[in-house]
Structure 1
């Protein structure tokens, strides 16, 4: 075991050289507690649908690699503050991408780091076997990070590190090397419930349990009509939500910019809303393609931009909203434009909606138009 102890230290030293902020080691035993949580989450209908559906694969490393002996967990800290952020104003309203979408797509950044660790191990042990994952892999990044002592599993369902708070990206490598495991951290959340209390949609059911179907971060990524109950909670969010992180006392004063590729482009992460509505797929990819927040394409972002204009009650946007309502081929976008027009209100809005009521053939859009007219009449 002395050889593996030395190799572990060499790997830790190398991780610092390649700018990995935290590294930890965990046993590759099944995640039995997580299995129970995931089964309950499925029974309650709390899952998002984006995650691996096979709970056995999510909780048993032996189904992913032949005779796994340990898991290497890594964390990279990301920035939490925008320097000289552009300010939205009347006639020039802006949306917002969450912090986890700033800079280059974190999946790419972490995979590069894990690949370097793979190469390092292969040079030392030519017969080594491994399987690396970031976010979209079968294993739960958070469960692995918690077991590996990267941080503790917090009430906001994030991993909190003493050094960087919860502003960290996580990845892991399953391997057949028997590295000695590190010690998990005890939760430091105590009696604090700030994240639970601040969640706009009450998605944090209790400490450490999330109803993804209510979570704004999840809702911003859906492609259908956003349920009405959640529209007014969206604010100007285009992708993701940081509320349960920004209110956390452990994140106070935590801001790290050690990775140049994570540096946010202000005009990308806080873009003007109106230009988003007429953007082609090609323009969207050129402008936002390198961000993780672009993975679902432009449709959810455009739908959310319409809801943001409704939030601001931006009257000067009525002409472009009218173009969308009468000219966009996608029912979800037309219907959401009708909702935005109804929220902005006024005589022009009523006229636009009445015209749409006569012309619109799609039932779901017509329903949105009628509801928007009703909302106008209840104000008058």
Structure 2
């Protein structure tokens, strides 16, 4: 079979298995990316979740013997809930970012990639390949950009003409020399809306992100959230959509192509107070299928505590008081103390004064003092 025929057949097959866009590029080294990654590393802008070996991130030949090309795929995900739930006084809610709605996208994309692999094996029995999604060595965005899936936006997302930046990406390195597709022209132009809207200034400039300041990254950390970011968190408990929601290319984009991606409003916009008392088992049962659960319940609980402070929810004072006095985790006790101070009131003040006499951990004591200072002001 001719390679060109195989490519056309593969494109046609991809549409039958729920792949919204497919592109092809060479397996040559991503030299421009290497320079950018080295600069990011020098500046301390990386999140620490990436593959640490930059050469593996830019050179497919280090990941598979004799690679010839890379197949890039994109799946569009929903941006709106079909059924809405409302956050109201006494029943405040947090929010998971859209990329964490529905079933864990790693599993969804792996399913599509596995089907593509099976098709390739059927057509070319001795084919070699290596598939990856997000946690693999290669940069999904760099591959997608070169494969013509979309252009690399100033918000550091791949923006497709059809679906905006609301797409999941994955790729397969293969020894089949597919004809590469043509990269798309960058359409961001002079628009800087994402840079201007970033709550923490994490977008240093178009296409450059300081992950250490990015709310998406910060919501996944497990320690105390630095003071300067707490008020910016709002009611986000996992991820951040701001640089995508302000993008003109995303206006009106909302696709419901994949049933696995449909959000359950009670899960992706959960009540905050029940999160404070949720057990490990309950957390896994309720949130385990979300990609946003991968760091466990602690970061979600810490973020929920901060969100309650954002709402100044006085109905949560008793719950926060219990956490501050009895939770075994210093980060949770201390964040609860900070939140109580932000919410304020006589009950919160008395709880903080009592905790100050009993607490032994210095970091928690510091948070109690911050809380008292908020009220005394």
Tell me if both proteins adopt one fold, taking TM over 0.5 as the criterion: yes
Give the match for residue 265 of structure 1. 264
CA drift of 1:126 comes to: 1.0
Corresponding position of 2:121: 122
Quote the offset at 1:56 in angstroms.
0.3
Displacement of 1:302: 0.1
**How far is 1:374 from its partner?**
1.4
Q: What residue is the counterpart of 1:65 in the other structure? A: 64
Q: Secondary structure at the match of 1:11?
A: helix
> Could you say which residue in structure 1 is the equivalent of 2:226?
227
Indicate whether 1:45 and 2:34 are aligned: no
Looking at structure 2, the residues matched to 294 and 22 of structure 1 have their Cα atoms a distance apart, in angstroms, of: 27
- 1:144-200 CA-to-partner distances (Å, cap 9, x unmatched) read 000000000000000000000000000000000000000000100000000000000
Indicate the residue corresponding to 1:354 in structure 2. Answer: 353
**Structure-2 separation of matches of 1:350 and 1:228:** 20
What corresponds to 1:247 in structure 2? 246
Cα distance in 2 between the residues matched to 1:314 and 1:254: 33
Taking the TM superposition and a 5 Å limit, the aligned residue runs for 1:91-240 are 91-240=90-239
Q: What secondary structure sits across from 2:216 in the alignment? A: helix
**For 1:272-351, what aligned pairs fall within 5 Å after superposition?**
272-351=271-350
- Does 2:80 match 1:81? yes
- Cα deviation, 1:245-284, whole Å, max 9, x if unaligned, reads 0000000000000000000000000000000000000000
CA distance in 1, matches of 2:128, 2:177: 11
* SS of residue matched to 2:141: helix
Q: Deviations over 1:83-117 (max 9, x none)?
A: 23110111000000000000000000000000000
SS in 2 for 1:182: coil
3-state SS of paired residue (2:349): helix
Partner of 1:32: 31
CA deviation string 1:207-231 (max 9, x = no partner): 0000000000000000000000000
**Deviation readout 1:121-148 (Å, 9 max, x if unpaired):** 0111111110000000000000000000
Q: Distance in 2 between matches of 1:32 and 1:376?
A: 54
Aligned-pair CA distance for 1:377: 1.1
Distance 2:308 2:18 in 1: 40
Cα distance in 2 for partners of 1:303, 1:270 equals 16
SS in 2 for 1:93: coil
Q: State the 1:375 CA deviation.
A: 1.7
RMSD, aligned α-carbons = 0.6
Gaps of 5+ in 2: none
Distance in 2 (CA, whole Å) between partners of 1:186 and 1:140 is 19
Q: What TM-score, normalized by structure 1, do the two folds share?
A: 0.99
Q: Please give the alpha-carbon distance, in whole angstroms, between the structure 2 residues aligned to 1:54 and 1:130.
A: 21
State the secondary structure of the residue aligned to 2:6. Answer: helix
Question: Residue 180 of structure 1 aligns to a residue in which SS?
Answer: coil
Distance in structure 2 (CA, Å) of the matches to 1:374 and 1:246: 36
Runs of 4+ with deviation above 4 angstroms: none
Asked if 1:21 corresponds to 2:23, the answer is no
Unaligned segments of structure 1, at least 5 residues: none
CA offsets, 1:36-71, max 9 Å, x none? 000000000000000100000000000000010000
> Partner of 1:372 in structure 2?
371
How much has 1:338 moved relative to structure 2?
0.3
Kindly tell me the number of residue pairs found equivalent between the two proteins.
377
**How far apart, in 2, do the equivalents of 1:290 and 1:176 lie?**
34
